[in-house]
Amino acid sequence: MTDESSSYHYERLTWPEMREAAAAQRVIVLPVGSTEQHGPHLPLDVDNFLCQSVCEGAAKLVPDQVLLMPPMNYGFNWHHIDFPGTIGIAWDNYVRFLLDIVKSVAHHGFRKVLIVNGHGSNRTLIEVAARQATMDYDVVCAAFSYFELAIDALHNIRESPKGWVAHADEIETSLYLYLRPEGVRRDKIAAENNMLPSEFWWQDLEGSGRIGMMEWWSTFSNTGVLGDPTLATREKGEVLYKACTERLAALIREFKERPMRPRVDHH
């Protein structure tokens, strides 16, 4: 075994090594994100970079139990298209692309798949894909956003009020400051929240209003920010990153051992 062959990076294995990895039933982790505007102070890779960093950190904690796939770096986000640079994928292409990936790994013998998301608006589509894949491909596929695993840590860290942790906000900026500080344009950091006040609808990583609605982003944000990144610190990012990676590693351990119980046909 070379160092490369014991890697947890899916694409670094050879096909005979892949056959062994499938026999060992390593958990497939597929990071998904989005290439989209994140205000004047953060690059377009925020959702991809943060999600991949969390997946990488978790995989390092359980390297022999997991295979980390090449990421899917484009997402469902046409509502951001008024800001230069954003790349939007249609919902049906997005779901079918995910299903094709899961179909492929299932064909190779893997049966546990985690879709780990970094972009809010992918959330419903990854859940559709995970549910459909589980019905179609003899796998168990689960889907979630990385910060959902550490929602208690997020709650404890945040100083922003409800509806102010949504996009290029205190949390995303803190994580970026911790993981890649040179990418943050500190002189451009500014808060913005022009959402219409509502009893029913707000956006927040900790839990949005129960009304499903997404208007064109440019109708309620001039800068592309929804939140208060002036509250971001490297220290908050470190705490949250560690919480996310540890929780994801714990999930991978549990998911790997989770038995797949047989179906029963009651016709």
Closest by Cα among 200, 180, 216 to 80: 216
Residue 46 CB, nearest distance to Zn ion (Å)? 5
In angstroms, the CA 97 to CA 100 distance is 5
Residue 42 CB, nearest distance to Zn ion (Å)? 8
Helix (H) or strand (E) holding 237: helix 234-257
Residue 46 vs 67, nearer CB to Zn ion: 46
Q: Which of the stretches 46-54, 79-87, 99-107, 196-204 binds Zn ion when contact is defined by CB under 5 A?
A: 46-54
Q: Which of 10, 13, 26, 47 binds Zn ion (CB under 5 A)?
A: 47
Q: Which of the stretches 47-55, 106-114, 130-138, 229-237 binds Zn ion when contact is defined by CB under 5 A?
A: 47-55
**Angle of helix 170-179 versus helix 46-61 axis, rounded to 10:** 60
Residue 50 CB, nearest distance to Zn ion (Å)? 7
Q: Which of the stretches 41-49, 83-91, 149-157, 240-248 binds Zn ion when contact is defined by CB under 5 A?
A: 41-49
Distance of CA 154 to the CA centre of its chain: 15
Residues 196/220, Cβ–Cβ less than 8 Å = yes
Closest by Cα among 242, 164, 233 to 197: 164
Residue 169 CB, nearest distance to Zn ion (Å)? 8
Name the residue with the smallest CB distance to Zn ion.
Answer: 47
Chain contacts with Zn ion (rule: CB under 5 A): 46-47
